[in-house]
């Protein structure tokens, strides 16, 4: 590739990458409340509780599957204290973590030996190729972007840990050890311990894959354990061992939530292996279906299919017979693929939720493969490298129009939630209740001016023990208090039917989505 042509591609890719990163920063700082779901909104509420109680793990906070020690809410709590705003404080924290993730990813790609243009294009592909991913009403941003940039929490932090772990592991396999390695080892042990203290995610995404990869590597390199390896080779083994130690240390902490899983029946396992898991992975890439053929949405999804076909071709080139791809690059792709495989195994054989976000690392497999493919074609002076670069840039422009123009300019995608919050503020009501997927959003759209607890279902009032604070329910709140109950319109009759006295609650406000009932009594119980 000529110097002028390479400079052109670097400038084009870099400009688009800066545009996307700038868009993500703007969404965090100015539009954060417009694009969150209740899971995400709860992290901002947790940040407020951390700051107000000066406790990293407030005792009255009910966690989901993990009880953080280190995560975005801890960083956001600091900025909440500085700004007094949950949304702005959380947005700033997400910008910082998103920037750290981007820097770590680029450094990871460069350390693997990819060229600058290949590394930049890979990062751009991660930012620009994800489409769809819509999970809840009014949410526009693809879910991959929510995980890594617009809601940069434990998935971003676990990704950073994986990048650093792969590089350090490959470095130790070369038998290099000194003061720098010792300092890095201690840092990595501390980082792993902090993330593992929160729950099982680090074990699933990082530790178990490294254990599997190291056992397979030792088996192959020792020729089925028949050949003695050098002592320096076991530096990498020792590092993997300290990751296991970090997990056992973390197991002593109360953050290890009791998340029950059960083995599935053989018929259910086969369904998950053949249908559920592949569908979840494809959904994570933006293949959602339900788009009218010939529409812009169908075009974008078909282009994602083309991207996946390209990645498949790249994987054949990387691992095919006679491949000249550097060993470090093959190893990195292999480790990331093992992580995806372990997640697939867990979901295929257990009752764990088959959510597409659990297969996030499949994106890293794709973009590393993309970078390797670009460099390999450039070395052969193939014009196909220019075609790939052009395709990524064109897709980035199309997706900016398809997804992010609306995401940046929207002002009313959560209008019904805002109307409910405004009504409660006008009525001077501080506390209310709704189902989980509505409650936290109502609280956040007006930056915590009202506090919403949640019931599992509104037709049977009782606390839903998930991402909430016990402070928001009786007996920690008085029974006799002005209380709002926010009910989806189709459930109005079922909600009222649970009361012996029909006058116990009064319909005071209604819009297209919600009906708000008022009462002088708080009927929600902690049970």
Task: Give the pLDDT score at 38.
Answer: 85
Tokens at 39, concatenated: 């899971």
Dihedral of CA 316/369/132/444: which sign?
A: positive
Mean per-residue pLDDT, 394-420: 92
Alpha-carbon span 99 to 123, nearest angstrom? 12
Is residue 360 domain-shared with residue 378, that is, in the same domain?
yes
> Using an 8 Å Cβ cutoff, are 114 and 105 in contact?
no
* Confidence label for 254 from pLDDT (cuts 50, 70 and 90): low
Within-domain flag for 159: yes
Structural domain that includes position 508 = 415-521
Is residue 456 domain-shared with residue 403, that is, in the same domain?
no
Is residue 83 domain-shared with residue 32, that is, in the same domain?
yes
- pLDDT greater than 80 at residue 464: yes
Least confident of 42-56, 220-234, 246-260, 441-455: 246-260
Within-domain flag for 447: yes
Q: Is the peptide bond before 475 cis (omega within 30 degrees of 0)?
A: yes
* Confidence label for 36 from pLDDT (cuts 50, 70 and 90): confident
- pLDDT greater than 80 at residue 249: yes
> Where a domain ends, among 382, 409, 436?
409
Is residue 499 domain-shared with residue 404, that is, in the same domain?
no
Mean per-residue pLDDT, 370-384: 94
Alpha-carbon span 368 to 362, nearest angstrom? 10
- pLDDT greater than 70 at residue 349: yes
Within-domain flag for 24: yes
CA–CA distance from 411 to each of 30, 125, 401, 406, 512 (Å)? Answer: 11, 28, 17, 9, 17
Q: In this predicted model, what pLDDT tens digit does every residue of 121-180 receive, in sequence order?
A: 999 999 999 997 555 565 678 888 888 988 888 799 999 999 999 999 999 999 878 899
Within-domain flag for 526: no
Task: Give the pLDDT score at 147.
Answer: 85
Is residue 202 domain-shared with residue 314, that is, in the same domain?
yes
Mean per-residue pLDDT, 65-90: 91
Q: In this predicted model, what pLDDT tens digit does every residue of 10-28 receive, in sequence order?
A: 999 999 999 999 999 999 9
- CA 201 from centre of chain: 11
- For the whole model, what pTM was predicted? 0.94
Q: In this predicted model, what pLDDT tens digit does every residue of 211-223 receive, in sequence order?
A: 999 999 999 999 9
Is residue 281 domain-shared with residue 170, that is, in the same domain?
yes
Alpha-carbon span 348 to 342, nearest angstrom? 10
- pLDDT greater than 90 at residue 301: yes
Q: Beta strands of 39-102 (E only): which ranges?
A: 61-62
Backbone angles phi, psi at 455, to 5 degrees: -110, 150
42 vs 138: which has the higher pLDDT: 42
Count of domains for the chain: 2
């Amino acid at each position: 590739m000529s110097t002028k042509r390479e400079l052109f591609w670097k400038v084009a890719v870099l400009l688009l990458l800066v545009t996307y990163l700038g868009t993500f920063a703007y969404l965090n700082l100015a539009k954060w409340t417009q694009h969150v779901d209740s899971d995400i909104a709860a992290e901002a509420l947790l940040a407020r509780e951390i700051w107000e109680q000066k406790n990293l793990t407030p005792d009255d906070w009910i966690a989901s599957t993990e009880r953080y020690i280190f995560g975005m809410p801890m960083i956001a709590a600091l900025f909440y204290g500085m700004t007094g705003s949950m949304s702005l404080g959380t947005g700033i924290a997400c910008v910082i973590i998103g920037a750290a993730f981007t820097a770590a990813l680029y450094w990871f790609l460069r350390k693997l030996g990819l060229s600058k243009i290949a590394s930049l294009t890979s990062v751009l592909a991660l930012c620009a190729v994800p489409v769809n991913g819509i999970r809840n009403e009014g949410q526009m941003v693809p879910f991959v972007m929510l995980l890594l940039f617009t809601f940069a929490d434990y998935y971003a932090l676990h990704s950073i840990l994986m990048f650093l772990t792969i590089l350090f592991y490959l470095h130790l396999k070369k038998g290099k050890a000194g003061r720098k390695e010792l300092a890095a080892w201690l840092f990595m042990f501390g980082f792993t311990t902090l993330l593992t203290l929160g729950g099982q995610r680090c074990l699933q995404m990082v530790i178990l894959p490294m254990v599997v990869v190291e056992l397979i590597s030792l088996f192959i390199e020792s020729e089925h354990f028949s050949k003695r390896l050098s002592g320096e080779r076991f530096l990498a083994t020792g590092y993997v061992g300290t990751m296991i130690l970090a997990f056992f240390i973390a197991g002593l902490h109360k953050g290890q939530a009791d998340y029950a899983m059960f083995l599935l029946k053989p018929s259910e396992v086969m369904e998950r292996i053949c249908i559920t898991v592949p569908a979840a992975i494809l959904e994570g890439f933006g293949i959602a279906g339900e788009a009218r053929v010939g529409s812009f949405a169908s075009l974008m999804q078909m282009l994602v299919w083309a991207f996946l076909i390209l990645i498949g071709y790249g994987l054949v080139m990387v691992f095919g017979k006679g491949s000249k791809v550097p060993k470090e690059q093959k190893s990195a792709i292999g480790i990331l693929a093992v992580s995806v495989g372990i997640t697939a195994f867990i979901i295929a054989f257990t009752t764990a939720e088959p959510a597409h976000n659990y297969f996030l690392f499949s994106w890293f497999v794709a973009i590393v493969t993309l970078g390797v493919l670009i460099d390999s074609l450039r070395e052969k002076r193939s014009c196909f490298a220019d075609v790939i670069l052009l395709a990524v840039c064109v897709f980035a422009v199309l997706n900016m129009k398809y997804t992010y123009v609306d995401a940046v300019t929207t002002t009313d995608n959560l209008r019904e939630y805002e109307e409910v919050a405004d009504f409660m503020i006008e009525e001077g009501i501080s506390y209310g209740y709704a189902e989980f997927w509505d409650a936290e959003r109502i609280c956040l759209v007006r930056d915590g001016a009202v506090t919403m607890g949640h019931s599992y279902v509104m037709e049977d009032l009782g606390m839903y023990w998930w991402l909430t604070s016990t402070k928001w329910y009786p007996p920690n709140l008085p029974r006799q208090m002005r209380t709002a109950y926010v009910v989806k319109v189709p459930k109005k009759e079922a909600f009222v039917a649970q009361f012996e006295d029909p006058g116990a609650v009064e319909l005071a406000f209604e819009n297209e989505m919600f009906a708000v009932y008022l009462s002088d009594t708080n009927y929600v119980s902690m049970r």
